[in-house]
Amino acid sequence: MSLHATVTILPPAQNSQPVTLPAPWGSEQPRLDRHIELWLSETARLLGATPLPTDESQRSEVLRLALALAEAEQIIKKQQAEIERLETLSLNDDLTGLFNWRGFNRQVSAGLAEAQRTGIGGVLIYADIDDFKKINDTYGHAAGNAVLCEVANLLSHKVRQHDSVGRLGGDEFAALLTRTSAAQGFRRVRDIAQALEQVSILHDGIAISVTASVGAVAFSPDDSPEALLERADRRMYDRKRGRSRIAA
């Protein structure tokens, strides 16, 4: 089958214009013809019209349908890409790029499911920036946002690739440390807590020092997401009020 210089995509692409293809194809023509022949044969097979018809009008109909299928595939790919984009937006915090509450909860459920499969638990960390309202009131919301992004970056660099970090809302963050023993996990918690005591940013020429209260709980394969998040949240507030220490 030789390739015509112009191919018109018929309905359902009713608004399409003829597509002009460069010609001649020179030495590439036989290989291109073979590629198109295989493409049309596959379309014919999907339509139950095998072998590929030899009648020119029937072959033109197969070509029309093949082009329509190709167009439909492109539309589906674009729709899938848009769905994935919207899904990402629904699971991530706009400001920091971390998981939001919904996304982090999904990660906790996945982490607990993995713990049930492997028998290896981990540690859940809650962190709350101290006096964050005062930072906003004193330096402005732009400075507050810069502080949130700095804390988000710090937490992201302190965890491993298979761990998860989320901004749960306002000035509250959480990190899920998976595939680790309680002892190893709490050593990392203490390192993170120490780092959060030394956060400082320069905003509009002003140095802003930040501290955060950190609470953490170990989890086992028998935990539920709701109970685990509640325990970690309570431990963080106990820590903020000075009634607890970081320990396994």
Active-site positions?
A: 171
Contact call for residues 71 and 13 (beta carbons, < 8 A)? yes
* CA 188/CA 176 separation, integer angstroms: 11
Q: Which residues contact 91 (CB under 8 A, 6 or more apart)?
A: 99, 100, 102, 103, 106
- Read out DSSP for 181-227? -HHHHHHHHHHHHHHTTSEEEEETTEEEEE-EEEEEEEE-TT--HHH
Alpha-carbon dihedral angle through residues 101, 144, 203, 96, given to the nearest 10 degrees: 10
